Amino acid sequence: MRAFGITGYKQPLTALDVPEPTVGAHDVLVNVEAAGLNHLDEKLRTGEFKAILPYKTPLVLGHDVAGTVIRVGAQVREFEPGDRVYARPGTHQIGTFAERVAVAEADVAPMPASLSTEQAAGLPLVALTAWQAMVERGHLRAGQKVLIHAGAGAVGSIAIQLAKHLGAHVATTASGPGLDLVRELGADVAIDYRTEDFAAELTGYDLVLDSLGGDNLIRSLRILAPGGKAIGIAGPPEPTYAREAGLNPLVRLAVRALSSKVRREAKKQGVSYEFLFMHADGAQLRQISALIEDGTIRPLSVETFAFDQTPDALAALAAGRIRGKAVITRS
């Protein structure tokens, strides 16, 4: 089976000939018609996450899929061949840069009828990230205030719409044309990060979604109200995550050291910090689908590439040349 992956960390994305996926009793086999590209794919390629995601190579990349079910496992009850579906496969089933992929039934959802296949392929990972930050971990409620960094980005644009749906007051950072976009999406406060300092302008926030890390995360902690929470998707990982992920003791020690600065600052400010590495969840994806179908969440704009252009597409994403979401398609 044709696929695109890596033969070692820091090696270029390349064409591979790999075995057909193994379809377990609770899996569905999906014919990949489109697959979204994410910065996570590039982080895996470069080895940035190898301590917390110790995959073996060769490794087929790809974390988003939209397509048609072609076979189901013996215990599958919700899907059958011919169903149109989309998903973010679980950690041990990634590999959507391929002709076919097996995905656990629990991680799959019916594709929203209002979306094109390409639009659907660009949504699962980023939409689930936004949902888990705002709903599952952030417990965002009506009347609360949330700062969403990089609001014109793939995760940020979904998070803004979801937060407004939940009744929150939303501030975000962006620049250039992104400022108009975030206002269209419903942001109450749009800060131009090139000319304005969010930390000087905002105070008393209940939640921050940080996608940048470093000093941006430290400064974000200072705009939170006492008891507020910052959720980071760029890191650093913290001890709770390391323990729940079952990382080995040496990695746990490293994680504790890497996150010490942000944890000290959070304690000083009387707030909390959590690292979010999103997880696959078909039930959450169904709830997101309902919001897409009723017009609450509008899909991302997509830039499409042919399957054979997958390495070029990932390089363009890594270089920041993609507006919206990059998606590869198979005719």
Average pLDDT, the chain: 96
Q: Give the integer Cα–Cα distance in Å for 88 and 94.
A: 8
Question: What's the average model confidence in pLDDT over 278-304?
Answer: 96
- The model's pLDDT over 29-48, given as tens digits with 9 standing for 90+, comes to 999 999 999 999 999 999 99
CA distances from 306 to 33, 120, 169, 201, 329 (A): 11, 16, 40, 44, 5
Contact, 310 vs 4, CB < 8 A?
Answer: yes
For the question of whether the overall pTM of this predicted structure is more than 0.95, the answer is yes
Q: Which residues pair with 102 in a beta bridge?
A: 29
Task: Name the residue among 151, 155, 154, 193 with its Cα closest to residue 170.
Answer: 151
Name the more confident of 331 and 266: 266
Q: Classify domain 126-275 by CATH architecture.
A: 3-Layer(aba) Sandwich (3.40)
Query: CA distances (Å), 169 to each of 28, 109, 148, 187, in order?
Result: 40, 30, 11, 8
Which band of pLDDT confidence, cut at 50, 70 and 90, is reported for residue 74? very high
Decide: helix, strand or coil at residue 254. Answer: helix
User: DSSP character for 280?
Assistant: -
Q: What is the pLDDT of residue 331?
A: 73
For the chain, the structural domain boundaries read: 2-123+299-329, 126-275
Spell out the residues 6+ positions from residue 320 whose beta carbon is closer than 8 angstroms to its own: none
CA distance 211 to 232: 6
pLDDT band of residue 235 (cuts 50, 70, 90) is confident
Give the tens place of pLDDT for each residue, 242-263: 999 899 999 999 999 999 999 9
- Minimal CA–CA distance to 276: which of 225, 222, 217? 217
Q: Which fold is adopted by the domain 2-123+299-329?
A: Quinone Oxidoreductase; Chain A, domain 1 (3.90.180)
pLDDT digits (tens, 9 = 90+) for 177-218: 999 999 999 999 999 999 999 999 999 999 999 999 999 999
Considering Cα of 59, then 61, then 64, then 66, what sign does the dihedral take? negative
